[in-house]
Amino acid sequence: MKKQIMKIWATGVMLLLTILVQNVDLASAKDPDYPTKPITLYIQFGAGGTADIAARGFAEAFGKYLGQPIIPVNKPGAGGTHAAMAVITAKPDGYTLGVVAASNAFVAPFSGEAPYKDLSGFTMIGNFGHYTYVLMVRNDAPWKTWKEFIEWSRKNPRGAKIGNVGAKLSTSLGLITGQVEKREQVEFTNVAFKSNAEILTALLGGHINAYVSPTDALTIPYIKEGKLRILVYLGVKKLSGYENIPSTHELYGFSIPNLLGIFGPKGLPDYVLKKLDDAFPKAVKDANFIGVMDRMHMPVDYMDRAQMTRYVEEVFPKVGETMKMLKEEEAKRK
């Protein structure tokens, strides 16, 4: 009898402890005062570049309105997928976020070059800026217009050596030049580099003919000084004072995806999303952040969580279809 009483008592104690632990876990999980510690922000670019500086400027403003510092961590490599993997595999508690651009990290799943098969493992938080993408040549190049460049390329197959960060059909910029090749019946030579700085050096040194790139603090001075000429925009956005230059969107109906924002892992709790949603538009309007973007020659471009999610869901499946089509055609040529 005594053993039975002890057994019942022990069971009761265990049940009580289980309830207490569950309540503690629930209270901790709700974390009503989130954030209560610094947030890690993975950046898929190397330190010191335009996107890195813009991301750090936003992180400082975002952290100010969230009430906790945001610690930027550069994690470049593998076309941005190293940083993306750090985000997608993180605990969905709001303390691990990432910077996303319409670059390899979002294109890689469709090329089979990412450990993740699609973008469903991410939560879009918001967009804070955009790039102005262009194809540039040296000012002393023989082509004064995009039409002249295409006509020359048609007569000189693979003669146009275009610098790009990475393999052509694994980058969003390469997808645009690939579509141009198909539409205009020309063939370019994609020259892969590790960074935009290397491509710029190669272009200025005459080792390549053209450079596909965002306009930023690195290239704007050369454009304004007349050392580089924009032949065509690869997206919808244009630089002030250079609006007369055509875009692939106007000429062909296609353009590069354009994002510069924040994302997190799938499954972020509602209380975390609410805090992030409340702070994001305040950070976008922060004077110091706007000053950073102005110095980087990057426009502020705000999309809230719903708008960014909708953009990703609409645009990137089309990117996948285009990549598949171009790869199939490339395989046929081989």
Helix axis angle for 146-155 and 172-184, nearest 10°, is 70
Residue-wise pLDDT tens digits, 157-194: 999 999 987 777 777 888 899 999 999 999 999 998 87
When the candidates are 1.10.760.10, 3.30.43.10, 3.60.21.10, 3.40.190.150, the CATH number that belongs to 39-129+259-324 is: 3.40.190.150
As beta bridge partners, residue 135 has 212, 232
- Give the least confident one: 27-36, 107-116, 125-134, 281-290: 27-36
Nearest C-alpha neighbor of 66 from the set 251, 268, 205, 273: 273
Residue 3: the pLDDT is: 52
Q: What is the Cα–Cα distance from 100 to 8, expressed in whole angstroms?
A: 56
Is residue 17 scored above 60 in pLDDT?
no
pLDDT (0 to 100) of residue 26: 42
DSSP, collapsed to helix, strand or coil, labels residue 156 as: coil
The rounded distance, in Å, linking the Cα atoms of 24 and 17 is 10
Is beta strand 122-129 parallel, antiparallel or unpaired with respect to 96-101? unpaired
Name the one residue in this structure whose structure tokens are 């009483």: 5
Model confidence at 108: pLDDT above 60: yes
Residue 202 pLDDT greater than 80, yes or no: yes
Residues 6+ apart with CB under 8 A from 320: 109, 110
DSSP-based three-state secondary structure for 160? coil
39-129+259-324 and 133-256: identical CATH topology:
yes
Architecture category of domain 133-256 in CATH? 3-Layer(aba) Sandwich (3.40)
Q: What one-letter code names the amino acid at 296?
A: M
* C-alpha–C-alpha distance, residues 107 and 210, integer Å: 22
Cα atoms found within 13 Å of the Cα of residue 153, Cβ hemisphere only: 24
Q: What is the pLDDT of residue 21?
A: 42
Q: Which residue has the higher pLDDT, 7 or 273?
A: 273
Q: Domain-by-domain residue ranges, the chain?
A: 39-129+259-324, 133-256
Q: Which of 21-35, 226-240, 318-332 has the lowest average pLDDT? A: 21-35
Average pLDDT, the chain: 88
Residue 112 has pLDDT above 60, yes or no: yes
Specify the pLDDT at position 30: 66
| Residue 216 pLDDT | 85
What is the per-residue pLDDT across 253-273, written as a single tens digit (0 to 9) for each?
Answer: 999 888 999 999 999 999 999
> Mean pLDDT, to the nearest integer, of 114-143?
94
What are the strands, taking DSSP E only, across the chain? 39-43, 70-74, 96-101, 122-129, 133-138, 161-165, 189-193, 210-214, 228-233, 260-265, 300-303
Please, how many CA atoms are within 13 Å of residue 271, restricted to the half-sphere of its CB?
12
| Contact present, 293 and 54 (Cβ < 8 Å) | yes
Higher pLDDT, 326 or 87: 87
Binned at pLDDT 50, 70 and 90, residue 332 comes out as: confident
Q: Please tell me the predicted confidence (pLDDT) of residue 103.
A: 63
